[in-house]
Amino acid sequence: MFISFEGPDGSGKSTQIELLATELRESGHEVVTVREPGGTPAGEKVRAILLGEGGTVSVDPRADALLFNASRAQLVADVIEPALARGAIVIADRFADSTLAYQGYGSGLPLDALRAIITFATAGRTPDLTLLLDLAAEEGLARKSGSGRTRFEDGFDATFHARVADGFRALAAAEPTRWRLLDASAAPAALAAQISQAVQGALATRR
Ligand code: TYD
């Protein structure tokens, strides 16, 4: 099973992914966690370009879309497909929906063009379950310290991040069988319990 976590910056995805991975491993599953962009040697180099690590870079939104998907193509081929083929559960910290939310709803690139790029990059692989940790954009940004912020958090204004958060909600509403919308302002333990319930439910229907 392939599970992705999506949501605005600072919504607590990495904390929740760790909790879920631990729970699933304790119940005997092989779990592979991946993060986007990155997760392969080539992908980590692309990540450094994209997130402005080691210096500020200016990247056009179209270049962003292609770079995120270059990293994604390598990750799907090298890590995600082999893990799924072995029967592992793959948990992704962001996947293709982030391109639709950030480069599409945020930067205004056409969604149909982005979908074509995504289908090419992923060879059609989509998550079985996508958990949206929904949070008001300004609340998420306030949770992140200055030094932990990326180009996307510092370089775009509040209206960009509000469009991203609304974009995630629109994507979730359009595909309700794949997405679960969860309130990320809840206490971490309460949120973890909701995530666990959603994942156990999805696993049960696949047995
Ligand atoms: P990261 O440090 O991984 O942020 P987070 O911990 O919040 O996931 O940085 C990823 C940034 O890149 C984040 O601001 C979202 C953005 N992004 C896109 O714009 N498009 C994409 O396709 C992906 C995967 C991420």
State the total domains in the chain: 1
**Phi then psi dihedrals of residue 157, to 5 deg:** -85, 180
Asked whether 47 lines ligand 1 (CB < 6 A), one says: no
Q: What is the dihedral of CA 45, 49, 51, 54, to 10 degrees?
A: 90
Q: Is the CB of 16 under 6 A from ligand 1?
A: no
Confidence grade of residue 203 (pLDDT, cut at 50, 70, 90): very high
Atom of ligand 1 nearest to the CA of 68: 22
Confidence band of 59 (pLDDT split at 50, 70, 90) = confident
CB of 51 within 6 A of ligand 1: the answer is yes
Question: At 189, which CATH number?
Answer: 3.40.50.300
- The pLDDT value recorded for residue 155 is 67
Range of the domain at 106: 2-206
pLDDT for 104 equals 98
Tens digits of residue pLDDT in 81-99? 999 999 999 999 999 999 9
* pTM (whole model) above 0.85: yes
State if residue 94 touches ligand 1 by the CB under 6 angstroms criterion: yes
* Ligand 1 center–CA 1 separation, angstroms: 22
Q: Is the pLDDT of residue 102 over 70?
A: yes
Q: What is the pLDDT of residue 113?
A: 98
Residues 190-197: what's their mean pLDDT? 97
User: pLDDT tens for residues 140-189?
Assistant: 878 876 666 666 666 678 899 999 999 999 999 999 999 999 999 999 99
Tens-digit pLDDT profile for residues 21-58: 999 999 999 999 999 999 999 999 999 888 876 666 67
